[in-house]
């Protein structure tokens, strides 16, 4: 683990198993409670130094980290395939996204400033100069990240924190801590390469400490860490919010993303995108397509197209460049997904394809007729399962999409500008994607949800704002 500016071992070493082969993929040091406490203290002690760094120094560091990630592309891909079971082509795309994330943060670090606020709009304000309102970092960030994007979701917390001058303590997912540790190596090299006689980035600006999920409670409650940024399940996220007293809390939680396919849509494109959006990486993405609502007049045609596109997807070994649908993260996850499919079938759902298992790999599964209260439709399945439904008119589709406790993203396929506007106004989600599936995320955009899908927004600039607070300076003219 990368702790207080150096690599440290631990008395507790944990074996990480490949989700695909079940064999040992890696060994990971697990931090003791004392080491976790030391990481918190080191982050707090680094804060006066990181917030004093010039924007130039922060930008140089982040640019160097982008280059370092690119130079270690192959290593990152191999780690994600081995530890997370991520198909190699998707892992390679994740590396590209992480490079983009750090490059964007390097650019934002230069221009992230503030604004001039006229105060003479109030008669009493005529005695004052225009106010200056600008961003200052709250303090160290605790970043708790999931297994499914073990590099880029770490990047989406680390890069904005470093851009604003906030130290960051990363607790990566125990299933796949390797990419975060390799990112720490990239950070150490970049910090050394960008140091000059005037200023240097403190090596304690980043800590990467792996520990069991339940062992992070002390850090969550420690007020020396000013912000908690968590990506994971809704149940865990809201529980952590209750423990994070006195902190700014950013939660990117679950979803059961829906797509609406209207009769005027390009059905072939919609089917191809829905198949990829539902089943890539075995559906282990919080914005994977889980519910598909198709207007009744084109439902039969769309169903045929969707099943044909699903059949084209490569399934199996994540190391095979043709694979799109790899294994679930572990046997327990595969057991749960199959039990939810069986539950839906027991209540009348029809399996149009899939529903079978080999090891931790579940074949892409399309259901028809699943009840709205089936867990495969009303909860986050986090597996390769999509449920098809028909609707009469657009208002019904919007209402059924909204009949969920989640609200992360939704997709709408239509050529009608009028319907797009109605979707944008009526869908209770953080983002509406038009003629695209909700599984797509552009890294610079504001990203986050409503309802049980979380609080706050990611996306480099928006996360920078979450990690800061406004400070205003008002000067009397005299």
- State the DSSP code for 319: T
Structure tokens that stand for 442 in this block: 């552009």
- Picking from 64, 438, 89, the residue whose alpha carbon sits closest to that of residue 274 is 438
Segment 266-269 long-range contacts (CB within 8 Å, at least 24 positions apart): 266/413, 266/415, 266/435, 267/298, 267/301, 267/302, 267/305, 268/305, 269/413, 269/435
Q: Alpha carbon of 22 to those of 25, 213, 331, 355: distances in Å?
A: 8, 21, 9, 21
Bridge partners (DSSP) of residue 276 are none
Q: What is the average pLDDT score of the chain?
A: 97
pLDDT of 289 higher than 80: yes
- Picking from 390, 407, 394, the residue whose alpha carbon sits closest to that of residue 453 is 407
Cα(304)–Cα(313) distance, rounded to whole angstroms? 15
Average pLDDT (54-76) is 99
Structure tokens that stand for 321 in this block: 């460049």
How many residues are recorded in the chain? 478
Structure tokens that stand for 123 in this block: 């008669």
pLDDT of 215 higher than 90: no
How confident is the model over 318-337, as pLDDT tens digits?
999 999 999 999 999 999 99
Q: Which CATH class is domain 2-253+453-473?
A: alpha beta
Average pLDDT (301-327) is 99
* Local confidence band at 238 (pLDDT 50, 70, 90 cut-offs): very high
Sign of CA dihedral 110, 114, 115, 120: negative
pLDDT of 190 higher than 90: yes
**Rg of the chain (C-alpha set):** 23
pLDDT of 478 higher than 90: no
**For the chain, what percentages of helix, strand and coil (3-state, to nearest 5) are there?**
45, 20, 35
Where do you find CATH 3.40.605.10 in the chain?
2-253+453-473
Cα(322)–Cα(319) distance, rounded to whole angstroms? 9
- Picking from 151, 287, 230, the residue whose alpha carbon sits closest to that of residue 466 is 230
pLDDT of 221 higher than 80: yes
Q: Which residues are catalytic?
A: 252, 286
pLDDT of 64 higher than 80: yes
Fold for 258-443, please state it.
Aldehyde Dehydrogenase; Chain A, domain 2 (3.40.309)
Where do you find CATH 3.40.309.10 in the chain?
258-443
pTM: 0.96
């Amino acid at each position: 683990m990368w702790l207080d500016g150096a690599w440290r071992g631990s008395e507790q070493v944990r074996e990480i198993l490949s989700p695909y082969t079940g064999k040992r993929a890696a060994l990971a040091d697990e931090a003791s409670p004392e080491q976790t406490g030391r990481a918190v203290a080191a982050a707090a002690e680094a804060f006066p130094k990181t917030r004093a760094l010039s924007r130039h120094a922060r930008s140089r560091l982040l640019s160097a980290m982008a280059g370092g990630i690119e130079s270690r592309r192959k290593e990152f891909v191999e780690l994600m395939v081995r530890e997370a079971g991520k198909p190699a082509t998707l892992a390679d795309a994740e590396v590209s996204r992480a490079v983009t994330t750090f490059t964007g943060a390097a650019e934002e670090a230069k221009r992230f400033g503030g604004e001039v606020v006229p105060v003479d709009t109030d008669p009493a304000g005529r005695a004052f100069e225009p106010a200056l309102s600008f961003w200052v970092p709250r303090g160290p960030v605790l970043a708790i990240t999931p297994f499914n994007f073990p590099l880029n979701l770490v990047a989406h917390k680390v890069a904005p924190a470093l851009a604003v001058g906030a130290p960051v303590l990363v607790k990566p997912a125990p299933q796949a801590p390797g990419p975060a540790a390799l990112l720490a190596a990239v950070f150490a090299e970049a910090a050394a390469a960008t140091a000059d006689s005037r200023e240097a980035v403190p090596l304690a600006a980043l800590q990467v400490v792996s520990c069991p999920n339940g062992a992070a409670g002390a850090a969550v409650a420690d007020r020396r860490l000013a912000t908690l940024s968590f990506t994971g399940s809704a149940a865990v996220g809201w529980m952590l919010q209750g423990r994070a007293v006195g902190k700014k809390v950013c939660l990117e939680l679950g979803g059961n993303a829906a797509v609406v396919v209207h009769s005027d849509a390009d059905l072939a494109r919609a089917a191809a995108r829905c198949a990829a959006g539902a089943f890539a990486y075995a559906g282990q993405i919080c914005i994977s397509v889980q519910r598909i609502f198709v207007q009744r007049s084109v439902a039969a045609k769309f169903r045929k197209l969707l099943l044909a596109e699903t059949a084209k997807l490569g399934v199996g070994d994540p190391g095979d460049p043709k694979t799109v649908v790899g294994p679930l993260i572990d046997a327990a996850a595969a057991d749960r997904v199959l039990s939810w499919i069986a539950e839906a079938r027991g209540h009348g759902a029809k399996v149009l394809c899939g529903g079978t298992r080999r090891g931790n790999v579940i074949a892409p599964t399309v259901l028809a007729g699943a009840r709205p209260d089936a867990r495969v439709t009303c909860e986050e399945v986090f597996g390769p399962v999509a449920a098809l439904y028909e609707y009469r008119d657009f208002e019904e589709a919007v209402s059924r999409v909204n009949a969920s406790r989640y609200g992360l993203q939704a997709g709408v396929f239509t050529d009608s500008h009028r319907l797009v506007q109605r979707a944008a106004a009526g869908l209770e989600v953080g983002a509406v994607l038009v003629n695209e599936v909700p599984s797509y995320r552009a890294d610079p955009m504001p990203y986050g949800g409503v309802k049980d899908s979380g609080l706050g927004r990611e996306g480099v600039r928006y996360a920078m704002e979450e990690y800061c607070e406004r400070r205003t300076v008002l000067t009397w003219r005299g």
